[in-house]
A = this chain, B = another copy of it.
């Protein structure tokens, strides 16, 4: 009794993700296009392709402060193999670290569905959801950031979505939530990168449980870079304190 997979067709001299010969993808499709193909079964449009690249780029690294980086560097300080360093960093990702993507997707998808079913405007639905969360003392995930008052990644993702014609009801609803916070709250709560990725993935048609999928794929290269840097620059077994680090690379340049 065989079990079944739809992902990649393998045979002698044949490797075909979703049925596409890999030698045709290589050199023609971008890496992110093949990720999209594996997840959806189809190749992205040119706009989707650029948008997925921007989403994956947005979370590739956040310096030394995130717990994923700290876990990876702690294992790298012990000179375990690169795969162990990356695995430890990935293990921090879940409900809390990165989890706001999925939670914000669920919030936005429920609100979009409510607006659709009731015929009410996004602003009205968002205002109700924000009021209800406040009454229940629940924090809505995906809004506000410890460090960034205006997260440049979130701003850029939404601008790009509009530029590429890919902004849909979930991005609209995210903006409605930000407006509702501003109307009802004292402290502004702009959307953060997790919330913005969530809105973008929802508008691209991905289900909420794919939130961490994109975050993991996006962050793994950053973790690899930190592990390699740790092994090259620092002595074995040092205690890694993320609050003590200093950036010594080139300063901010325009693109």
Show the binding face of A for B, using Cβ within 8 Å.
1-32, 34-35, 38-39, 41, 50, 52-54, 56-58, 60-65, 67, 70-71, 74-75, 77-88, 90-97, 147-153, 155-157, 160, 163, 209-210, 212-213, 216-218, 220-222, 224-226, 228-229, 233-234, 236-255
Contact = CB atoms under 8 A, between A and B. Distances in A.
Return the 3 tightest CB-CB contacts between A and B, nearest first.
A24-B255, A19-B250, A10-B63
Contact of A13 (B80, B95, B149): B149
21 contacts: A7-B225, A7-B247, A8-B63, A8-B222, A15-B148, A17-B60, A21-B252, A22-B152, A26-B58, A27-B160, A31-B31, A34-B60, A34-B221, A38-B225, A65-B239, A75-B92, A78-B92, A80-B95, A83-B91, A84-B84, A217-B220
A238 B221 CA distance: 23
B249 A9 contact: yes
A177 B10 CA distance: 27
B216 A38 contact: no
A83 B79 contact: no
Contacts of A251: 9, 19
B3 A247 contact: no
Contacts of A50: 27
A42 to B, nearest CB: 10
Contacts of A243: 239, 241
Given A20-B255, A60-B34, A243-B241, A94 B81 contact: yes
A224 B217 contact: yes
A87 B84 CA distance: 8
Nearest to A19: B250
